Amino acid sequence: MDRVWYVAYGSNLSSARFRCYVAGGRPEGGARTYVGCRDRTEPAADAPVDLPGAVYFGGRSRVWGGGMATYDPHVRGSVAGRAYLLTVGQLADVVAQETRTPVEDGLDLDRMHPSTGRLHLGPGRYRTLVRVGARRGIPLVTLAADHERDVAAPSAAYLRTMAAGLRESRG
């Protein structure tokens, strides 16, 4: 497999914000500059998708200064997401930047658990990749936390970025 849909939620609903992971840069209202992917090619496509589950805000973002959106696939509901079609190498670089960990060459999505669709990448926040379906025969994956965090309100800048992404992707 050489392509994968990365399903973003939260601030990454905004294509301008997500592209900071791909091309490098600092998102408007954010406090961190991202190095970008080794392959800075734009996503081949993007599309609105709905994930089963819910999002809650918790922890404290060093980028945004408030609670962060965290996906919980075990809660009933629906989450507005935006799928970006990436190479597996780009996904590895995005995950490294999301999780503040070194880049893993050769991210092997075939290691995802066959029944749960999960791949634990190690300890820490957002360290579990979850397969949430497929689009045109290509896997849809997203990042989720392994455990619940304390609930915390998101910052105004984070919410503005999220809202901009919802408008872009949903109209």
SS (H, E, C) the chain: CCEEEEEECHHHHCHHHHHHHHHCECCCCCCCCECCCCCCCCCCCEEEEEEECEEEEECCCCCCCCCEEEEECCCCCEEEEEEEEEEHHHHHHHHHHHHCCCCCCCCCHHHCCCCCCEEECCCCCCCEEEEEEEECCEEEEEEECCCCCCECCCCHHHHHHHHHHHHHHHC
Which residues have CB under 8 Å from 21's CB, separation 6+? 12, 34, 36, 37, 93, 94, 97, 98
The domain spanning residue 22 has which CATH number? 3.10.490
Angle between helices 88-99 and 15-23 (to 10 degrees): 100
pTM score over 0.75: yes
Tell me what the mean pLDDT of segment 106-115 comes to. 71
Please state, as a whole number, how many other Cβ atoms lie within 10 Å of the Cβ of residue 48: 15
Q: What confidence tens digit (pLDDT) does each residue in 48-101 have? A: 999 999 998 988 887 788 888 888 888 899 999 999 999 999 999 998 888 877
Band of pLDDT at residue 111, cut at 50, 70 and 90: confident
Q: What is the pLDDT of residue 164?
A: 92
Q: How many domains does the chain have?
A: 1
Range(s) of the domain holding residue 78: 3-170
The answer to whether residue 18 scores a pLDDT higher than 70 is yes
